[in-house]
Amino acid sequence: MAPIDSINQLVESHNKENKVMIWSKSYCPFCKKVKEIFNNINQPYKAYELDLEANGAEIQEALLAKTGQKTVPNVFVANKHLGGASDTEAAFKEGRLTQLLSGDDKEYDYDLFVVGGGSGGLACSKEAVKYGAKVAVADFVKPTPKGSQWGIGGTCVNVGCIPKKLMHQAALLGESLTDAKAYGWSTPEKNTHNWETMVQAIQDHIRSLNWGYKVQLRQQNVKYYNKYASLVDKNTLKLVDRSGKEETVTARNIVLATGGRPIYPDVPGAKECCITSDDIFSLPYAPGKTLFIGASYISLECAGFLHGLGYDTTVMVRSILLRGFDQEMANRIGDYMEQEGIKFLKGYNIVKFEKLEEGTPGKVRVTYKNAEDKIESAEYDSVVLAVGRKPLIDDVGVQNAGVQLHEKSGFVITDNADRTNVDNIYCIGDLAEGKPELTPVAIQAGRLLAKRIFAGAQKKCDYENVATTVFTPLEYGACGLSEEDAIKKYGDENVTTYHSNFTPLEATVAHRLDNGCYAKLICNKTDDERVIGMHVVGPNAGEMIQGFALAFKTGATKEHFDDLIGIHPTNAEIFTTLDKTKAEDPAVTGC
């Protein structure tokens, strides 16, 4: 029999050296259950199987003397006695396990507090509870200057992707009604659209999503605060509700996911006379003759659907369309929109806005100037500002916790694991400096972050080569480099671009889009013609590029695309038959 001291020493050293120590028996189902809990959260553990060791019975006696527990499993976490199977399970379910694992002895109200219940914040909080963390999320929407406000779910659900795509669809349906005539359908001489009906139907859908999120949070045990959250220090948050009532909570980890809101330029009358994308999707009256200011995603998408719904639409462009995108593609989108009847005021800057008439929508005089300072003005029923978005961080108290912001942009600086300069404070989604401002990016970052904090995972969000689509009347899908960036990066001589026009079969009967769509693959000659950029302008480009993005991500070459047998007749098959380089005419004839 080993001396008691050496057995005690063995127990002590095992408990000390292993973050999770399970005194176990190899056949015991309760021990298996406990191991499963740690396996599920990717937490390594050491199991000492007492039935397989000669000193097992003596160790069990020593454990009884130390803990008052005779049964197995006997679990220690961070050298602290946790208990048996039911104790471990309860600690996991109540979120205490992650606290014990962190080795931080302080008691906090939450293991994780997420500020912002948008795409990123909701994804992160729902993932974190899966690993037993005690989680809360605060979401609060300050009304726009015009008074628009909305429920939980953030930008995407309420004033972004969802209503935008539905209005895009409303416009495409109008186009289909026109095409339908050519296919033999009897339709009215002039199709008319009711703005109020569309807005009501879309808002009803959004409200059902808001409701669904609240139910999910309740069912998954995430505490939801419909309160404005701000940092008091690195572990403390102040929560204020709509009536001004305050409370304070503490959290071991904090995720900032407050997103952004539209910018109002510093121009007289901007706030008084204009609306933004935060207002347009719930606008209770038809906007009438509308001017969009800005020339990127939001402006072009909203101008596209408004024109499709029958409104007189103008876009004011101060420089180029879709900065950062392949400019050949951006101009093809612009040309198509212009051809369809959308007006473009190119090379103009805003001078002032004046309200001429109150009303729904009322009337605004817009004064603008060109590069030679020539002043012009025009009247519009509605003016939509789409000049970029600013981070929602001003009142979040980051200075109280020492969180560093980007000097110029004001967005939160993070490392490649989404951590700020403060060790327990993270940031994901639109609020993070230099990351693509897209819903799936925020969701992926949120999920992976929760796994890293609470489940011992290592994987980080890959922010490179994220596929995206601009939902203009002819959609534009892209993944990877623009042609100009490819040439800049690899040199003109090392880049081959294959391209082709195409005509969607479904548009031929209505005599639309004759050679009006376009696809290109940009390849790196020095690397087996690996595809480094792919771009397409055409119907459903978003659906197309989503599938091909996987090939892109897994390193497909031009030969892989050539070897792929297409599905006929589809638009996507164009990528399997690209045989003309930029030196050749991309027009096609025949099937």
Tell me the catalytic residues.
568
The residues in 428-447 that bind ligand NDP, with binding defined as CB under 6 A, are 436-438
Amino acid at 273: C
Rounded to whole angstroms, the Cα distance separating 421 from 243 reads 33
Q: Are strands 135-138 and 222-225 parallel, antiparallel or unpaired?
A: parallel
Name the phi and psi angles at 396, rounded to 5: -95, 0
Nearest approach in angstroms of CB 155 to ligand FAD is 3
Amino acid in position 220:
Q
| Partner in contact with 115, chosen from ligand NDP, ligand FAD, none, beta carbon below 5 to 8 Å by kind | ligand FAD
* ω into 569 cis (within 30 of 0): yes
Residues in 283-302 that interact with ligand FAD by CB under 6 A: 298
Q: What is the CA radius of gyration of the chain?
A: 29
- Interaction with ligand FAD in 119-148: which residues (CB under 6 A)? 119-121, 138-141
Which of these ranges, 21-29, 435-443, 451-459, 545-553, lies near ligand FAD under the rule CB under 6 A?
435-443
Query: Could you tell me how many residues make up the chain?
Result: 591
DSSP assigned state of 325: S
Torsion of CA 479, 480, 484, 490, to 10 degrees: -150
Q: Which residues of 118-148 are buried (b: 16+ CB within 10 A; e: fewer)?
A: bbbbbbbbbbbbbbbbbbbbbbbbeebeeeb
Measured from the CB atom, the residue of 15 and 155 that comes closer to ligand FAD is 155
CA dist list (Å): 2 to 7, 58, 463, 470: 7, 8, 57, 73
**Which are the contacts of 75, defined by CB distance < 8 A and separation ≥ 6?**
20, 21, 22, 23, 34, 81, 82, 83, 84, 87, 88
How much of the chain is helix, strand and coil, in % rounded to 5? 35, 25, 40
Count of alpha carbons within 13 Å of 549, Cβ hemisphere only? 17
CA–CA separation, 545 vs 535, rounded Å? 8
Determine how many CB atoms are found less than 10 A away from the CB of residue 443. Answer: 22
Cβ proximity to ligand FAD: between 120 and 361 the closer is: 120
Contact with ligand FAD (CB under 6 A): which of 294, 334, 391, 429? 429
The DSSP symbol for 418 reads S
Q: Report the candidate in 527, 475, 523 with the shortest Cα–Cα distance to residue 499.
A: 523
Query: For ligand NDP, what does the binding mask look like between residues 324 and 363, x meaning CB under 6 A?
Result: -------------------------xx-------------
Check residue 532 for interaction with ligand NDP (CB under 6 A): no
391 binds, options ligand FAD, ligand NDP, none, Cβ within 5 to 8 A by partner type: none
> Token pair of 408, please?
């110029």
115 near ligand FAD, rule: CB under 6 A: yes
**Of 102, 253, 277, 497, which lies in the binding site for ligand FAD, with binding defined by CB under 6 A?**
277
Q: Which stretch binds ligand NDP (CB under 6 A): 177-185, 382-390, 400-408, 476-484?
A: 382-390
Instruction: Retrieve residue 586's tokens.
Output: 């991309």
Instruction: Report the residue number, 263 or 588, with the smaller CB distance to ligand FAD.
Output: 263
127 binds, among ligand FAD, ligand NDP, none (CB under 5 to 8 A by kind): none
323's contact among ligand NDP, ligand FAD, none, with CB below 5 to 8 A by partner kind, is ligand NDP
Nearest-angstrom CA–CA distance, 502 and 576: 13
Residue 119 touches which of ligand NDP, ligand FAD, none (Cβ within 5-8 Å per kind): ligand FAD
Task: Return the sign of the alpha-carbon dihedral for residues 23, 25, 26, 32.
Answer: negative
Q: Which of 135, 293, 450, 453 binds ligand NDP (CB under 6 A)?
A: 293
Q: Which is nearer to ligand NDP, 35 or 164 (CB)?
A: 164
Does 437 bind ligand FAD (CB under 6 A)? Our answer is yes
Contact between 479 and 549 (Cβ < 8 Å): yes
| Angle at which helices 56-67 and 4-17 cross, to 10° | 70
Stretch that binds ligand NDP, among 296-304, 373-381, 396-404, 483-491 (CB under 6 A): 296-304
DSSP-derived secondary structure for 126-170: HHHHTTT--EEEE---PPPTT-----TTHHHHHHSHHHHHHHHHH
Binding flag, residue 467, ligand FAD (CB under 6 A): no
By CB under 6 A, how many residues form the interface with ligand NDP?
A: 26
Least distance between ligand FAD and beta carbon 469 (Å)? 7
Q: Is 242 or 408 the residue whose CB approaches ligand FAD more closely?
A: 242
Tell which one of 471, 476, 490, 575 touches ligand NDP (CB under 6 A): 471
279 binds ligand NDP (CB under 6 A): no
Place of tokens 């795409």: 119
- Return the residue of 156, 222, 384, 455 that touches ligand FAD, per CB under 6 A: 156
> Contact with ligand NDP (CB under 6 A): which of 295, 364, 396, 532?
295
Q: What sign does the CA torsion over 542, 547, 552, 554 have? A: positive
The stretch near ligand NDP (CB under 6 A) out of 48-56, 81-89, 313-321, 371-379 is 313-321
Residue range at the interface with ligand FAD (CB under 6 A); choices 112-120, 128-136, 401-409, 532-540: 112-120
With CB under 5 to 8 Å by kind, the binding choice for 294 among ligand NDP, ligand FAD, none is ligand NDP
Token couple for 358: 């109150």
| Residue in 196, 202, 197, 198 with CA at minimum distance from that of residue 163 | 202
Instruction: Fill in the per-residue mask, 196 to 235: x = in contact with ligand FAD (CB under 6 A), - = not in contact.
Output: --------------------------------xxx-----
Q: Would you count residue 398 as binding ligand FAD (CB under 6 A)? A: no
State which amino acid sits at residue 17.
E
Minimum CB distance to ligand FAD smaller for 115 or for 455: 115
308 binds, among ligand FAD, ligand NDP, none (CB under 5 to 8 A by kind): none
Binding site for ligand NDP (CB under 6 A): 265, 293-299, 301, 318-320, 323, 349-350, 386-389, 436-438, 468-471
Binding site for ligand FAD (CB under 6 A): 115-121, 138-141, 154-156, 160-161, 164, 228-230, 257-259, 277, 298, 392, 396, 429-431, 437-440, 442
